[in-house]
Amino acid sequence: MNGFAVALEPANLLWCFVGVFLGTVVGILPGLGPPATIAMLLPLTFNMNPAGAIIMLAGIYYGAKYGGSTTSILMNVPGESASVVTCIDGYQMAKKGRAGAALGIAAIASFVAGTVGVLGLMLVAPPIAKMALSFSSPEYFALMSLGLALVVLLAGRSIVKALLAALLGLWIASVGTDLFSSTSRFTFGRMELLSGIDFVVVAIGVFALAEVLANMEAREETQLLPMPKGLKNLLPTLQDLKDCRFAFVNGSVVGFLVGALPGGGSTIASFLSYGLEKAVSPRREQFGTGVIEGVAAPEGANNSETGGALVPLLTLGIPGSGTTAILLAALVLWGFKPGPLFIPEHPALFWGLVASMYIGNVMLLILNLPLVPLFAQVLRMPVYVLYPLILGVSMVGVYSVSASMFDLALLMVFGLLGYLMRKLDYPSAPLILGLALGAGMERALRQSLMMSEGSLSILGSRPISAVMLSFAVLVLLIPVFGKLNKWRLKALEQE
């Protein structure tokens, strides 16, 4: 197609490379994200031809998703909110000496899912956009309830502790200004809390800082994170690739579909994909200890989500996420009017962009895979260098988001909270999940009730939300079934 003709022009190839390279760097740095980077580069784009400009900016968008996994796996520091789920199993793999395998599978899963996402954008964008319109607040509430129900699967030993952690996350999400009535909630009179507590601050505090604090009190000689030995651990093995077969599919599909929803996002996409993978995996009890599918699924999901998020942007002119909002602004500033008629009226731009995304994903795979052993060298650093580095990177990352000392103080508070949770054996993933979903869930529920004049039946009378809610209930009941089954077997044994 002539899309490739546009994308393969030498200038556009160069812009593609610049974009994906910058994106990878931005993804690695915690705090600085694609929206801010794209905003900074906007003035430079005015003298460029629009095709090259959008190719570069899109490259930053999906390139950042590749880079985000690096700090998650090596240092338990989520590069951005979409990479939080990768920390769960990725960091555990690094602790077991398989950092290289984790980084490698993240790159491969990102490539597969990213390509599937572009395929989806190319082939099914208009019907998916239409389907996405039928999603509204009741369906979003049901989707997020399903995501929250998956907390049960993140529970580890104690379901009660997991639920408590999730509730704490939901409470933290409620801090701020209520959208509907403009009342302040839990702001303690502080202006900085008016727009709530930033997800990145909590995630970095509870994961990275808590890890550092917990390790600092170790009595024995501080051990290095094991350096991956042998090619087996520097890159994923064939066995690893086989184990991840379903994860590749899972990540691609879930990410793309959730991304296409105007209210969806990469955080919920990665959580849902992780939860689904855990639910169907034969070794689900091992999730959380360093299972490779637990890295492949969310990493894939947050990449195909970029393809999905471009669907409402390019077919309807509706931005679905923070980065697509700035991309929309860029298109508007260049003189385009994104809307339902954008693709028919600017086919060269659209198909050029799509073709460039294929090329960009290939470039990213080539960039990232060979760098895996290089990144794994980070683990050679002794802990007395690595941990201050983690602290420094975390703090700079948080400060770069909002330039606020208050956020740094919050980071400390959540670091301490995360440390306490570890000592008391509370799992931290449910807290992060509750925080990620809390605001959206509450909003969706209240919007649904406004739509139905206060009647909860709206959740059950709409087919999509009814189905998802039933799944959520089923998921919540899994442990009950498990216990009933054990009890039954025990009773049988005693006879």
Partner 1 sequence: MKLRPSLVTLAALLAASAACAQGFKPTRTVELVVHTGPGGGSDVLARAIAIMVEKEKLLPVRMQVVNRAGGNSAVAAAFLAEKRGDPNTLGLFTGVWLQTPLVSTEAKVTLRDLTPIARLVLEPAVIAVKADAPYKTLAEFIEAAKKNPGQLKQSGGSNTSRDNVVRQLLQKSTGTRWAYISFPGGGERIAALLGGHVNIMVIEPEEAGEHIRAGNMRVLAQVSEKRLAKFPDVPTLKEAGFDVPVVPQVRGVVAPPGIPKENVAFWEDFFRRLARTPSWQKYIEDNQFEDGYQNAADLAKFYDEFTDRMREILKDAGVKTVR
Least spacing, CB of residue 137 vs partner 1, in Å: 7
Phi-psi region of 196 (alpha: psi -120 to 50; beta: other; left: phi over 0): left
Q: Shortest distance, CB of residue 416 to partner 1, whole angstroms? A: 24
Which 8-state DSSP code applies to residue 205?
Answer: I
* 493 vs 395: CA distance, rounded Å: 56
| Least distance between partner 1 and beta carbon 444 (Å) | 10
C-beta closer to partner 1: residue 341 or 385: 341
How many distinct helices (H) and strands (E) make up the chain?
23, 2
Paired sense of beta strands 176-177 and 184-185, if any:
antiparallel
Q: Among residues 332 and 374, whose Cβ is nearest to partner 1?
A: 332
Alpha helices (runs of H) in 244-321, residue ranges in sequence order: 245-260, 266-280, 293-316
Q: Output 42 or 279, the one with its CB closest to partner 1.
A: 42
Compare residues 205 and 320 and give the one whose CB is closer to partner 1.
320
Nearer to partner 1, 189 or 230 (CB): 189
Question: To the nearest 10°, the Cα dihedral for 32, 34, 35, 38?
Answer: 110
∠ CA 338-342-346, rounded to 5° = 125
* Beta carbon nearer to partner 1, 124 or 163: 124
CB of 264 to partner 1, least distance (A): 11
Smallest distance from partner 1 to CB 102, Å: 31
Least CB distance from residue 410 to partner 1, whole Å? 13
> Would you say 206 and 417 are in contact if contact means Cβ atoms under 8 Å apart?
yes
| DSSP string across 13-60 | HHHHHHHHHHHHHHHHSSS--HHHHHHHHHHHHTTS-HHHHHHHHHHH
Least separation in angstroms between CB 254 and partner 1: 20
User: Which C-beta is closer to partner 1: that of 391 or that of 464?
Assistant: 464
340 vs 482 by CB, closer to partner 1:
340
78, two tokens: 């989520």
Q: How distant, in Å, are the alpha carbons of 380, 394, 414 from that of 375?
A: 10, 18, 28
* Helix-, strand-, coil-residue percentages of the chain, each rounded to 5: 80, 0, 20
Interacting residues with partner 1 (CB under 8 A): 35-36, 38-39, 42-43, 46, 132-137, 177, 179-184, 187, 189-195, 262-263, 312, 316-320, 322, 325-329, 332-333, 337-342, 402-403, 443, 447, 450-451, 453
Q: Which is nearer to partner 1, 179 or 218 (CB)?
A: 179
Confirm if 459 and 448 have CB atoms less than 8 A apart. Answer: yes
Residue tagged 């979409």 (tokens): 82
280 neighbors 246 (Cβ within 8 angstroms): yes
CA 370/CA 18 separation, integer angstroms: 18
- How far apart CA 194 and CA 175 sit, in angstroms, is 8
- Which residue, 47 or 494, is less far from partner 1 as judged by CB? 47
For partner 1, give the closer residue by CB, 278 or 346: 346
Tell me how far, at minimum, the Cβ of 176 lies from partner 1, in Å.
9
Least Å from the CB of residue 1 to partner 1: 24
In angstroms, give the least distance from the CB of 274 to partner 1.
Answer: 25
Tell me the closest approach of the beta carbon of residue 261 to partner 1, in angstroms: 9
Distance (Å) of CA 373 to CA 29, 98, 308, 368: 19, 11, 31, 10
Q: Classify the phi-psi angles of 182: left when phi > 0, otherwise alpha if psi is within -120 to 50, otherwise beta.
A: left
Handedness of CA 118, 122, 124, 130 (dihedral sign): positive
